[in-house]
Amino acid sequence: MPVPAPTTAPAPSASAPSAPAPSTTPAAPAPSVLKRSTLLVLCACVMVAQSMVAAINLLIPQLGSSGLDPSASEILWTVDAYVIVFAGLLIPAGALGDRYGRKGALLTGLGLFAAGATVSATAVSPALLIAGRGISGAGAALIMPATMSILMRVAPPEQRPRALASWTLAMGLGGFAGNAGGGLIGEYLSWRALFWVMVPLGALLALAVARTTPRTDRSAGTAHAPSLDPVGTLILTAGLVAVLFGVIESPLYGWGAPRILCAFAAGAVLLAAFTAHALRSRAPLFDPRVFRSARLSAATLGSAVAFFGLFALFYVNSQYLQYVKGYGAARAGFAIVPLTIGMALVPRLAARWSASPRPVVGGGLLLIGAGLLGVSAADAGTPYAAYACWLLVISAGTGLCMPALTLGVVSSLPPHQAGLGSGLGTSAREIGAALGVAVSGTLLAAHTGTGHTGGAADFTSGMAAALRVVGAVVIVLAAVVAAGLGPRRRQDGS
């Protein structure tokens, strides 16, 4: 899929006034052709890390009746520990890879991921299961930005849109793999099988990375080495965790509950404290003034909006197919296949239009919003074929906008901060995903109460309300995001 050569990021000073002048930015190594084996291995790492976000959801019934005898709160934390640690550590993990080596960060991440899976598989108490999920989440936080950063450093300019489209596709396929794998395990095997499978898989991926992935330049010891900024890292991570805690637990306790309000207040104070610290520090984790760039701000918001819509759908999809349509767990997991079709095919077209992000991103987000409104009309009598058509619309929108959004975030920062850029973009996606689940879960609970005691009709009514609200928000924010995306400026360099 031939594509026009993308242009490079604006000089750091355009986004962050305190950044060094462009002339002092270290030149990227001369890129060669990105090997197919390298691309496939890196995308496989992305798929595995992303799959563990969704896979556990289909095992909740089995976990609840297992010998661990977890409480409702412990089940919630089993699901959420991975996402909270994953999203909370993405930004410092990206900076760590930029400074000390992206390949090393990726291998370390795979090791942590497998170690966490081992702890979860052998857990004899809910606390150990939750701890294992958190360790795996820390590994995923190293994996995601490292894969993106390696692609941006290894691929020559003309290959980058294709590489980013493949990376985005791998994220989408990871969601499908998690749903399908979780469904199959939930129906035929023990929940422990999910984690046992990840142990040799992590080892095989580490071996493949060691053999196929080249080392990229590291910035440690240079004038442009990203600072690890321990104080700033601690404040930022704590702030993100507090916000995510409030978002994720809000459907269970209510948005106005004291613990939720305290979590949001703590998150706001900590994020404000990080901003103040970073503006005063000589070597911050990252300069908040990078968000003066309209392109970076819009691309970050757009990434969050797209995943806000997608994960709102994921939350109600398996429940609708199992509870309303009567599908088994495995069949429900595979019924989401239409969502992968557009993600696989449309990026091949979208990459050709990477120089015109406004119509691509705006159109893609509009398709996601329209597809959610279409799905909201589904009920017990809706044929699966009609339901699948709306999934295809959402899939096409995702495939259209996500490569451009990903490129918009990464290309807005200097090349030596590619890992940090990937961390910012992926953090936005995970926060958007958590919000999508929280909002749809809250609106669904308002109609169905606890469980499904109100019946299938009440469930479809709640699903309709949830998806209409989420779809309308996506459509409104599509215009905001498109307005912030101007034509990319061309510069020399990588």
State whether 204 and 245 are in the same domain: no
| pTM, 2 dp | 0.76
Q: Same domain, yes or no, for 431 and 457?
A: yes
CA distance 381 to 319: 15
Count structural domains, the chain. Answer: 3
Query: Do residues 258 and 298 share a domain?
Result: no
Q: What is the DSSP letter of 58?
A: G
Only one residue has tokens 């070597």, namely: 283
Q: How far apart are CA 455 and CA 323, in angstroms?
A: 9
pLDDT value of position 487: 56
Alpha carbons 132 and 118: distance in angstroms, whole number: 7
- The answer to whether residue 261 is domain-embedded is yes
- Residue 329 within any structural domain of the chain: yes
Does residue 356 lie in a domain region? yes
What is the pLDDT at residue 20? 39
Domain boundary among 268, 284, 300: 284
pLDDT value at position 400? 85
Give the integer Cα–Cα distance in Å for 386 and 284: 51
Q: For residue 211, count CB atoms less than 10 angstroms from its CB and return exposed for 0-12, middle for 13-18, buried for 19 or more.
A: exposed
Q: Where is the domain boundary, 284, 302, 331?
A: 284
Residues 439 and 457 in one domain: yes
Q: Do residues 459 and 389 share a domain?
A: yes
Q: Are 235 and 277 a contacting pair, CB within 8 Å? A: yes
Residue 13 pLDDT: 38
pLDDT digit string (tens) for 42-60?
999 999 998 888 788 778 7
Query: What was the pLDDT predicted at 221?
Result: 47
Amino acid at 421: G
The one-character DSSP state at 71 is: -
Pair (277, 408) in one structural domain: no
* pLDDT number for residue 91: 82
Same domain as 179, residue 237: no
Does any domain span residue 394?
yes
* 143 domain-assigned: yes
Q: Which residue positions in the chain have pLDDT lower than 50?
A: 1-31, 220-223, 450-453, 489-494
pLDDT tens figures, 224-249: 555 667 888 888 888 888 888 888 77
Alpha helices in 376-455 (DSSP H): 384-410, 418-448
User: Does 119 fall in a domain?
Assistant: yes
Say which DSSP state 68 is in. Answer: T
Domain presence at residue 24: no
- Co-location of 208 and 235 in the same domain: no
The answer to whether residues 256 and 162 belong to one domain is: no
Give residue 62's pLDDT. Answer: 83
Is 152 a member of any domain? yes
What does residue 25 show for φ and ψ, rounded to 5 degrees? -70, 130
Whether residue 175 sits in one domain with residue 45:
yes
Domain boundary among 214, 248, 273: 214
- Residue numbers of the domain that contains 121: 35-214
DSSP letters along 460-478, please? HHHHHHHHHHHHHHHHHHH
Residues 399 and 320 in one domain: yes
Q: What is the CATH number of the domain that holds 324?
A: 1.20.1250.20
Same domain assignment for residues 302 and 174 = no
